[in-house]
Amino acid sequence: MKRLIPAILLLSVFVFQDSQAQRKKAERAYEAFNAGEYYEAIDQFKDAYSKSKKADRSVRTELGYMVAESYRLSNDPRNAEIWYRLAVRSATSKPEAQYWLAESLKKTGKYQQAIEEFRKYKQVAPSDARADQQIRACELALEWERNPEAYRVEELKDLNSRFSDFSPAYARDDFGVIYFTSSRDDAAGNKTHGATGQSFTDIFESRIDKKSKWSTPVPVSGLNSESEEGTPTFTSDYRQVFFTRCGVGKREKKGCVIMVSERSGDKWSTPKDIAILPDSLVAAHPSISSDGLTLYFVSDMPGGYGQKDIYYVTRNDESDSWSTPRNLGPNINTPGNELFPYIRSNGTLYFASDGHIGMGGLDLFKAVSQPDGSWIVQNMKAPLNSFADDFGISFENDSEKGIFSSSRKGRGNDDLYTFELPPLRFTVTGLVRDEKTGQPIQGSVVRLIASDGSNLQAETGQGGDFKFSLRPDVDYIFLASKQGYLNGKERETTKNQEKSRDFMVTIPLTAIDKPIELPNIFYDFGKWDLRPESMVSLDKLVETLNDNSNVTIELMSHTDSRDTEEYNLDLSQKRAQSVVQYLIEKGIAPDRLSAKGYGESTPKVVDESIAEQNAFLKVGTTLAEQFINTLATEEQKEIAHQINRRTEFRVLRTDYVPAVK
Mean pLDDT of 554-572: 90
Indicate the range of 22-36, 399-413, 487-501, 591-605 predicted with least confidence.
Answer: 22-36
Predicted pLDDT of residue 190: 63
Predicted pLDDT of residue 489: 93
Mean pLDDT of 39-68: 84
The one-letter amino acid at 78: R
Q: By percentage, how much of the chain surpasses pLDDT 90?
A: 71
3-class secondary-structure state, position 445: strand
Indicate the range of 49-63, 347-361, 502-516 predicted with least confidence.
Answer: 49-63
Predicted pLDDT of residue 249: 59
Indicate the range of 128-137, 553-562, 652-661 predicted with least confidence.
Answer: 652-661
CATH 3.30.1330.60 is right for the domain spanning 516-653: yes
Higher pLDDT, 458 or 661: 458
191: DSSP letter = -
Higher pLDDT, 308 or 49: 308
Measured distance CA(56)–CA(52) in Å, rounded: 8
Higher pLDDT, 111 or 47: 111
**Domain definitions of the chain by residue range:** 22-146, 152-420, 426-509, 516-653
Q: Looking at the domain that runs over 152-420, which CATH code has it been given?
A: 2.120.10.30
Q: Which of 9-18, 39-48, 237-246 has the highest mean pLDDT?
A: 237-246
User: By C-alpha distance, which of 233, 156, 168 is closest to 204?
Assistant: 168
Predicted pLDDT of residue 13: 39
Mean pLDDT of 640-655: 90
- The alpha carbon of residue 303 and the mean position of all alpha carbons in its chain are separated, in whole angstroms, by 32
Whether 1 has a pLDDT exceeding 50, the answer reads: no
Indicate the range of 108-117, 174-183, 240-249, 413-422 predicted with least confidence.
Answer: 240-249
Mean pLDDT of 502-509: 96
Provide the pLDDT confidence category of residue 12 given band limits of 50, 70 and 90: very low
Predicted pLDDT of residue 5: 47
pLDDT in tens, 244-285: 999 865 555 568 999 999 999 889 999 999 999 987 789 999
Mean pLDDT of 198-217: 91
Predicted pLDDT of residue 189: 62
pLDDT in tens, 76-114: 999 999 999 999 998 888 899 999 999 999 999 999 999
Q: For residues 315 and 321, is the Cβ–Cβ distance under 8 A?
A: yes
Whether 319 has a pLDDT exceeding 60, the answer reads: yes
Predicted pLDDT of residue 18: 53
Q: Looking at the domain that runs over 22-146, which CATH code has it been given?
A: 1.25.40.10
Q: For residues 343 and 314, is the Cβ–Cβ distance under 8 A?
A: no
Q: In the sheet where 309-314 sits, what is the strand order?
A: 284-288, 294-299, 309-314, 326-327
User: By C-alpha distance, which of 509, 519, 525, 532 is closest to 651?
Assistant: 509
CATH class of 426-509: mainly beta
Mean pLDDT of 454-460: 95
Mean pLDDT of 493-505: 93
Measured distance CA(71)–CA(77) in Å, rounded: 7
Measured distance CA(408)–CA(416) in Å, rounded: 10
Alpha-carbon Rg for the chain, nearest whole angstrom, is 38
Whether 70 has a pLDDT exceeding 80, the answer reads: yes
Predicted pLDDT of residue 14: 39
On average, the pLDDT of the chain sits at: 90
SS3 of 305-372: CCCEEEEEEECCCCCCCCCCCEECCCCCCCCCEEEEEEECCCCCEEEEECCCCCCCCCEEEEEEECCC
Mean pLDDT of 10-22: 48
pLDDT in tens, 320-370: 999 999 999 999 999 999 999 999 999 999 999 999 999 999 999 999 999
Whether 623 has a pLDDT exceeding 90, the answer reads: yes
Measured distance CA(426)–CA(436) in Å, rounded: 30
Whether 574 has a pLDDT exceeding 80, the answer reads: yes
